[in-house]
Chains A and B, each alone.
Chain A
Amino acid sequence: MNEKMILDIHDLDISFKTTAGNVHAIRGINIDLEKGETVAIVGESGSGKSVTMKAAMGILAKNATVNSGKIEFKYSNEQGEQVVDILQKDKRWIRKHINGKRIAMVFQDPMTSLDPTMTIGKQLMEGLLWHFDISKEEAKNRSISLLKEVGINDAEKRMKQYPHQLSGGMRQRVVIAIALSCNPDLLICDEPTTALDVTIQAKIIELIKKVQEERGISVIYITHDLGVVAKVADYVNVMYAGKIVEKGTINEIFYDPRHPYTWGLLSAMPDLSTDDPRLYTIPGSPPNLLNEKPGDAFAPRNKFALEIDDKLEPPMFKVTDTHYAATWLLDERAPKVEMPKELRERLDRMKKEAAEYGSEL
């Protein structure tokens, strides 16, 4: 673990026991995150994005087994800097030292993630009173200033209200305030805008960006919305069937994607500046992880698949120091395959537009 690293997930492998059999949901994942950075994890539903993050929070479902791997987390306390492997710690320890206090989570649906029978104020103060030795009065004052920080007007009044009295966007702000309440070092956002109105989405993303800058915390975004990724992330991990298939900086993933799955995801983004009325989708559906097959899990849906894809899983090929992709197309013996022409044109256009407006993306 280097100096600035805060989270290092190494070779994580998780399976779930179900009545139908063992589901191998996470198959050797590596993710690292430095202080102040934003990493996005992108992939279809069921690719294992949320499971990975729940493992880091120690809130995996009871039927989950961690087969191997490490989740190293660095934090500082009175004794100086500490590095722990979260997977080695028991639930009690994680609850006391990690959950809410150092790693906090923002959930997908603010309509269901707040307790309907408890006031906003109580839900906010709960974590504060639990982790810190402070008076109720102090907790209340801190909660009010938190609500103000996340952009909620008349915070005092809101403290006494119940979740059903707030709009969806407002509730997500409350959820973010709860997550920030104990000053975490790492914020995990599990599809924070998926359940929200489009008009609210941008505001919530702006809010998360703002608090990240102000507090200097690291953020992990779990999402399938590449539009969100483009706005917020420094690094992107593309996940498929419990594996990371491509990782790189935001520019590398958006302008120079190498994995056919990433090509598919990018092509599937709606685009207004094309004459083609059709919306591209990736053919087929994600594999059932109940019955694992040899070879690349994406091969059956991949029109660029090679013969070897059915036999052997591709390793991570290095493209640059920060850019890796797990596809046999990058092997030197593979035939030269370019990304689809339409996508190439689209990415070039995006790049040109970005340059015109003077931003990276």
Chain B
Amino acid sequence: MKKYVLKRVLTSIGTLLAIVLVLFILMHLMPGSPFNDEKLTDVQREVIYAKYGLDDPIVVQFGRYVVNMCKGDFGVSYKISKNTPISQLIETRLPISIGIGFYAVARGAVIGLILGLLAALKRDTIIDTVCTIVSVIGVSVPSYVFALGLSYTLGFKWKIFPMLYDSADALGSSVMPSIALSMFTMASIARFTRTEMIEVLGSEYMLLAESKGLSGTKLIFTHALRNALIPIITVLAPLVVDLMTGSLVVEKIFAIPGVGSLLVNAIQSNDYNVVIALSFIYSAMYIVIMLVVDILYGIIDPRIRLGKEGD
């Protein structure tokens, strides 16, 4: 198991480096630069380039960037908020996006799991039908529609939660956006859980466990759930990242100062450092979550943990 984790961590670091390289090259291949202002003369532009080291060969720039990055320095913004260090720019925004995403995932996963479980256990009954309808709606209706609906009812009509993000009431402000965002996760998890559970419940090892005389709850919690969870975790991982990185539209509706809007601004204005830094953080999150999922697999499924050494 230790060897397995170590191997996975090393590959993850390699992957991250490769991602930075690709991002760096792509950004420099893009036409234009952060300093596209027509009022600048060529001389002025050269001075600015020299100041930020943009006149060096790309290899040198890349080396410098990676070295600085390892020290936790992502450079400064060239355009959006001139000369502000990126870390400072992200510092306040990232926790908000991650926080809302986390609530959304937690809520979606738990409710989805319960709905899916109920649907599978009460298969072909009215409960199953209701769960199916809920999950079809959740998958097919976009999150901003839920956001608008929530905003109108809970926010405007009944005034339970603030309609716009209020940093003084961060928890209350994140309720509505996280519900809106969690609908898709919940629906996908519910559908997936139902399918997996039905398959597991029909398996022969469940029949054997049943023939031992165990009670229904014991059957489900000690045998069925664990086996059904293995594939569910696979779909949960990418959903988690999607949510953590926030949804731009939902952020706009609730005026949340998250990273989504920052990224769009940065791309539009060719603000290299901001784009690379944010893309890097997204990738890092994705890779870390994949790593966590792989390790979770090992914990849940002995066939992966023990691999060939068990033979």
Residues of A within 8 A of B (CB): 57, 59, 92, 94-96, 98-101, 104-105, 107-109, 112-119, 123, 126-127, 130-131, 161-162, 164-165, 175, 178
Kindly identify which residue among B222, B302, B310 contacts A116, using a CB–CB cutoff of 8 Å.
Answer: B302
Residues of B within 8 A of A (CB): 203-205, 207-215, 218, 222-223, 226-227, 230, 300-303, 306, 310-311
Kindly identify which residue among A92, A95, A104, A165 contacts B311, using a CB–CB cutoff of 8 Å.
Answer: A165
Q: Are A126 and B212 in contact (CB under 8 A)?
A: yes
- Name the residue on A nearest B311 (C-beta): A165
Residues in A whose Cβ lies below 8 Å from that of B223:
115, 118
- Name the residue on B nearest A91 (C-beta): B216
Cβ of B200 to closest chain A Cβ, rounded Å? 10
- A162 to B302 Cα, complex, angstroms: 7
Which of A92, A105, A116 neighbours the largest number of chain B CB atoms within 10 Å of its CB?
Answer: A116
Cβ of B143 to closest chain A Cβ, rounded Å? 34
Kindly list 18 other residue pairs between chains A and B, CB separation below 8 angstroms, not including A96-B213, A115-B205, A126-B212.
A59-B211, A98-B213, A99-B210, A99-B212, A100-B213, A105-B211, A107-B204, A114-B205, A115-B223, A115-B227, A116-B227, A116-B301, A117-B230, A123-B209, A161-B310, A162-B302, A162-B303, A162-B310
Residues in B whose Cβ lies below 8 Å from that of A96:
213
Q: Are A116 and B205 in contact (CB under 8 A)?
A: yes
A127-B212 contact given A117-B227, A117-B300, CB 8 Å threshold: yes
A164-B213 contact given A115-B205, A117-B300, CB 8 Å threshold: no
Residues in B whose Cβ lies below 8 Å from that of A99:
210-213
Cβ of A162 to closest chain B Cβ, rounded Å? 4
- A108 to B203 Cα, complex, angstroms: 12
Cβ of B204 to closest chain A Cβ, rounded Å? 4
- A162 to B303 Cα, complex, angstroms: 8
- A92 to B216 Cα, complex, angstroms: 9
- A104 to B207 Cα, complex, angstroms: 12
Q: Are B310 and A164 in contact (CB under 8 A)?
A: yes
Cβ contacts A to B, 21 pairs, < 8 Å: A57-B211, A94-B213, A96-B213, A99-B210, A100-B212, A101-B213, A112-B205, A113-B204, A113-B205, A113-B207, A115-B209, A115-B227, A117-B301, A117-B302, A126-B212, A127-B213, A130-B212, A130-B213, A164-B303, A165-B311, A178-B212
